[in-house]
């Protein structure tokens, strides 16, 4: 399954909001430096979908706010 994610790094909270069937907005506390925000997003998605972090892979948008993730 592919999902679209809009990331808000350096937010005061850590949360996830579903905007459409395959789109999410994720707020993380980490800064977008050296992949820290991406790792935090994977952690949040793992908790939301109740899947191990190894099952979630960033496909597109490594250095952008809009990303596409694959969830196995």
Over the chain, what is the mean pLDDT?
A: 95
Q: What is the pTM of this model?
A: 0.92
What is the C-alpha separation between 53 and 44, in angstroms, rounded? 9
Instruction: Report the CATH number that the domain containing residue 19 is assigned in CATH.
Output: 3.30.1200.10
Owning domain of residue 25: 2-71
pLDDT of residue 14: 94
Query: Of 11, 63, 70, nearest to 34 (Cα)?
Result: 63
Q: Count the domains in the chain.
A: 1
- Percent of the residues in the chain that have a pLDDT greater than 90, as a whole number: 99
């Amino acid at each position: 399954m592919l999902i679209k994610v809009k990331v808000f790094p350096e937010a005061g909270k850590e949360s996830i909001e579903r905007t459409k069937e395959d789109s999410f907005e994720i707020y993380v506390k980490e800064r977008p430096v050296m992949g820290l925000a991406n790792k935090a997003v994977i952690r949040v998605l793992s908790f939301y979908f109740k899947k191990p972090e190894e099952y979630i892979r960033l496909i597109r948008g490594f250095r952008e706010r809009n990303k596409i993730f694959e969830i196995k």
